[in-house]
Structure 1
């Protein structure tokens, strides 16, 4: 181990140390640090109310693609790189255990990519908690041991054309969670609705219409999304 000397020897060593990076060079025009530019979040579209459009008779039916959902969210592309997988476009009651298993397999393969930081699954709310729980118990041992990346399920309680539609806000918040480093912080599989983050093993749908329909009775949420903070 070499000890530092005194006088000119110290000066020579200090001159060899590179100066600290000027953080102001990393600040974007909008004032925020560009900390997510190298992250990719995959939107895995399954269907549900968040993807509904009115048909010829005025009924809401799942019809919007993942790309269409993303276009309704201002500023989404500024968070990170976005990719879309259109898995299906069905009502939540049509989601079967076989579909849940296939979602789990595909999502795990996606998250093994080094450039992907997380996956957001847009899903109908009636079976959202069941799919979330299924995913949480179906993760392979390999995935659980090697990968600590968020799988975030979200949806909406109101159709896209409804007053106060909550889908865009839920999708934006979920992408923020998917950009977050989940290790030792929140569970791998979570539900993000109404700016609350709930563990897949605890969350329940407790209301059929309120935008705050998802709760974790006796436990509470594991986190919140507050503007740009998770």
Structure 2
């Protein structure tokens, strides 16, 4: 080439060829990155405060998904990211209808070959409930990670950006495949079934105190140390694809001097199931036990849970569940027992079958 072209032209051609090869290598590297879709639902991670020191009393769900993504440019290094605004609400306003919409959208996206994982940004107040609902209804082994923040993005110590980065990293990882729906906050990985919000405001609020977290995210890499043994996602029997609503299931809380007024009102309002969050090992006060027995005779499914927050609810322990035809919640919190019972009632009203579900999921 140099014998036929001026040296300057030769150098220009060589530079162009080198640039083309470099761009090709960049394109190839980008193509190898996993495709992750972020579904935004609002919450504190999308919130804003009056000043940089406002960490309580802020307004949730004010920032859109595109702005969330732009605030963390490092995401482009770990995945090819797309965003979609599904809802824009504070999570205390999450409803059964929101859950059904979200689960259907997640299943639609994960069925596409160009989606490798899903991240859902969510308010922390009901994050554990949404995560468990998805753990029971997502029909894919691809990673689904639910993430939130305890402080708004305008705060000096905002935890949202690093939480979002870690969640996308986790959803893009091969290590997360088949692990069920995961919750990622504070550099920790938790299972949707077992995690709970444990503090009103601190960044380390999400914990799995007795059963333990699944792993950590450190140095832009997930490390798993255990996995849940309960069935989830693709291995569950629950199909929400054609459901427009869920059966009404409500929670009754146990406490000293409790009466049957709230329980009776819920049954009269059409509850198909009641979760009784009793004291201790799900003990039943005499005043409430009579009302629960009456409700069961009317066809309402009763699940005994505990307000304690940890431990196995012993079947036939503080009540004769066999005789009363009640269901024991196993280790599920009252709010998660409600979710499983709602889905169970879309399949059966047989209490023995429902009890087996509580031991399976």
Bucket of the pairwise TM-score, normalised by the shorter protein: 0.7 to 0.9
- Report matched runs for 1:62-211 at 5 Å: 62-139=61-138, 143=139, 147-182=140-175, 187-211=179-203
Q: Deviations over 1:149-200 (max 9, x none)?
A: 11100010001111210000000000010011256x6622010001111000
- The offset of 1:121, in angstroms, is 0.2
Matched with 1:214 is 206
Query: What secondary structure does 2:129 align onto?
Result: helix
Structure 1 residue ranges without an equivalent (≥5): 1-24
Give 1 or 2 for the bigger CA radius of gyration: 2
**Alignment match of 1:45 (pick from 31, 40, 43):** 40
Q: Is the 8 A contact 2:141 2:178 kept in 1?
A: no
Cα distance in 2 between the residues matched to 1:106 and 1:190: 17
Cα distance in 1 between the residues matched to 2:158 and 2:127: 18
TM-score normalised by L of structure 2: 0.50
Cα distance in 1 between the residues matched to 2:179 and 2:135: 9
Cα distance in 2 between the residues matched to 1:218 and 1:59: 32
Q: Which has the higher contact order (CA 8 A, sep 6+)?
A: 1
- The offset of 1:34, in angstroms, is 4.3
Q: Is the 8 A contact 2:184 2:190 kept in 1?
A: yes
- The offset of 1:53, in angstroms, is 2.4
CA RMSD of aligned residues (A): 2.2
Q: Is the 8 A contact 2:49 2:155 kept in 1?
A: no
Runs of 4+ in structure 1 off by over 6 angstroms are none
Q: Is the 8 A contact 1:196 1:225 kept in 2?
A: yes
Cα distance in 1 between the residues matched to 2:163 and 2:130: 17
Query: What secondary structure does 2:76 align onto?
Result: helix
Q: Is the 8 A contact 1:154 1:170 kept in 2?
A: yes
Cα distance in 1 between the residues matched to 2:181 and 2:175: 10
TM-score normalised by L of structure 1: 0.77
The number of residue pairs the alignment matches comes to: 192
More helix by share: 2
Q: Deviations over 1:74-99 (max 9, x none)?
A: 31112121111100111010111110
